[in-house]
Amino acid sequence: MSRRTLLAASAAVAGALGIARPATAAEEGSAARAATPLYLAPARQQLTALRNGYITSRALLEQLLAHHAKFNPSLNAVATLDAAAARAAADKADQYLASTGRTLGPLHGLPMTVKDALETKGLRTTCGSPDLTDHIPTADADAVALLRTAGAVIIGKTNVPVMCQDIQTSNPIFGTTKNPFAADRTAGGSSGGPAAAVAAGLSSLEVGSDLAGSLRLPAAYCGVYALRTSRGTSPIVPTRGHIPRPPGWLTSSDMLALGPIARTPADLDLLLDVLAAPAPADASAWQINLPAATKTCLNQYRIGIWADDAYCRVGADVRGLLATVAQAVRTAGARVDDTTRPVDFAASDKLFQRLMYATSAASSTDAAFAGEVAAADALADDDPSALYLKSRTMRHRDWARADEDRQKLRATWATYFETHDLLITPAAPTAAVLDQTSVPVPQRYITVDGQKRSYYDQTAWINLAGPVGLPSLIVPAGQTADGLPLAIQLIGPHLTDRTLISVAQLLASVLPTAPKAPALAG
């Protein structure tokens, strides 16, 4: 097939996929040379170039691997790299396009990484645990299977804390992932490797997981966009194959949600199209059709802003950011309610902790769980350890009552969204905090305006959405005087994931520009 025929075929495919008129190879090449190198460009730009034949998947992969060799050793975001399998997959994508004039799918030939908590067939998946050092899955996690079906080229796995059980990223197998903006700062956790990889240009897209802020906190600290997707009785992104639970389990936490990480809102939408799907067992009868945004300008939105709260005070930088955001959306014509308090912060957070601790006990050994039951029964309700142990060992009746409280909390949020289209909150009390890998967990703390605070205050704001399964999106906006990214959180009604992405795109034109990690300079 001639190059001209290939370009024409690629253009036809792009049109069928609903893409705007693709640039010619000359146009795409000129744009790439004049601006960001293609391997560091947004995923949509890379995909257009691949479809148009401006670059092959193999050539794009080789450029990206060279970038990895330069930046990943000091960053340590990508824990396991499988260049040989990636080259084979890239060659297959190129051969398919050349022979058929068609793409494999919406992610055709795009090299990307995957969080090491998601099982990948034939590729080591450790979840940072020494017990899983040699674990090589025989099947993909459902979300990974969706990526491969869409044509993605999986190049490796990104780092996580042991069993995803920390809000910074370090483990005995691979060590610590650095923040792309400052080596002494944490990248967050548990999706610290994925967020750092996207921020540093080691991958244009990633799939993160989020139970207690594990997707959104790293995004906020690393200056990238991330969407915790809606979750009702079932998730809109299938979670089978996520560790934890242990390998081979078919279930996961009832609050776990997977979602995309990207450097632009448009790329979030691109990956959401691929990931939002029923579990394979339901795919013959169900489909997920998330509604599109119905508003096109900020002046059409009713926006609540919850800028600070006595339950989890934010620092001066974040207060200043929220004030800037409030002024910007007002100036854009939005109807702003900055006295809004949709729920009781403390009550919501306590319910979240109870439900989280309860689900975390599912994979405990019988002996360990029996010991926890005995310890919990011996504790007074006001003991500092009582919330954790009594929640992990609660009877099913107590869990059912807690679940009823969760449904009532969902109803409270639904009532709030009858008069508000979305809520803007801080993402975290501060920018990325100092890495504390060498500090025992009980001794860790953060500092907010000179005051020591609980280590876990980092996730209090983003956990507002967790127990009720609302979509929540991190928007990078501005920076500290030291050049660290600052971010806000958008929370919307159930299943308005696309609306949040649309609002993030609108906000990008009125909010301060977020910094780019040094590695993105190429």
Q: pLDDT tens digit string along 306-336?
A: 999 999 999 999 999 999 999 999 999 999 9
Q: Are 86 and 202 in contact (CB under 8 A)?
A: no
Residue where a domain stops, chosen among 282, 313, 336:
282
Q: How much is the mean pLDDT over the chain?
A: 93
Q: At residue 28, does pLDDT exceed 80?
A: no
* Same domain (yes/no): 315, 402: yes
* Same domain (yes/no): 274, 356: no
pLDDT-derived band of residue 204, with 50, 70 and 90 as boundaries? very high
Tokens 């991330």 belong to residue: 226
Bridge partners for 336 per DSSP: 303
Q: Are 379 and 386 in contact (CB under 8 A)?
A: yes
Q: Is residue 371 part of a domain?
A: no
Q: By residue range, what is the domain housing residue 414?
A: 298-363+397-508
Those residues with Cβ within 8 angstroms of residue 476's Cβ, 6 or more apart along the chain or in another chain = 219, 220, 223, 224, 225, 485, 486, 487, 514
Q: Is residue 220 part of a domain?
A: yes
Segment 500-516, tens digit of pLDDT: 999 999 999 999 999 99
Counting beta carbons within 10 angstroms of the beta carbon of residue 404, is it exposed (0 to 12), middle (13 to 18) or buried (19 or more)? Answer: exposed
* Same domain (yes/no): 197, 302: no
Q: Work out how many domains the chain is built from and give that number.
A: 2
Q: Is residue 289 part of a domain?
A: no
- Give pLDDT, residue 369: 95
* Same domain (yes/no): 92, 23: yes
Q: Is residue 488 part of a domain?
A: yes
Rg (CA), the chain: 22
Extended beta strands in 161-269, E state:
170-171, 175-176, 178-179, 182-186, 205-210, 225-228, 257-262
* Same domain (yes/no): 257, 332: no
* Same domain (yes/no): 308, 251: no
Residue where a domain stops, chosen among 282, 310, 334:
282
Which CATH number fits the domain that encloses residue 414?
A: 3.90.1300.10
Those residues with Cβ within 8 angstroms of residue 506's Cβ, 6 or more apart along the chain or in another chain = 297, 298, 332
* Same domain (yes/no): 239, 334: no
Nearest to 516 by CA among 201, 254, 231: 201
* Same domain (yes/no): 316, 266: no
- Give pLDDT, residue 29: 41
Q: Are 211 and 255 in contact (CB under 8 A)?
A: yes
Could you please report the per-residue DSSP string of 258-283?
EEEEESSHHHHHHHHHHH----GGGT
* Same domain (yes/no): 422, 319: yes
Q: Is 337 left (phi over 0), alpha (psi -120 to 50) or beta?
A: beta
SS3 content of the chain, % helix, strand, coil (to 5): 40, 15, 40
pLDDT-derived band of residue 522, with 50, 70 and 90 as boundaries? confident
Q: Is residue 370 part of a domain?
A: no
- Give pLDDT, residue 32: 41
Tokens 């490797």 belong to residue: 193
Q: Is residue 291 part of a domain?
A: no
d(CA 78, CA 76): 6
Q: Are 390 and 379 in contact (CB under 8 A)?
A: yes
Q: Is residue 68 part of a domain?
A: yes
- Give pLDDT, residue 459: 98
* Same domain (yes/no): 416, 463: yes
**ω into 245 cis (within 30 of 0):** yes
Nearest to 213 by CA among 190, 229, 185, 236: 190
Q: Is residue 97 part of a domain?
A: yes
Segment 74-99, tens digit of pLDDT: 999 999 999 999 999 999 999 999 99
* Same domain (yes/no): 266, 314: no
pTM: 0.93
Q: Helix, strand, or coil here: 137?
A: coil
* Same domain (yes/no): 73, 163: yes
Residue where a domain stops, chosen among 247, 282, 317:
282
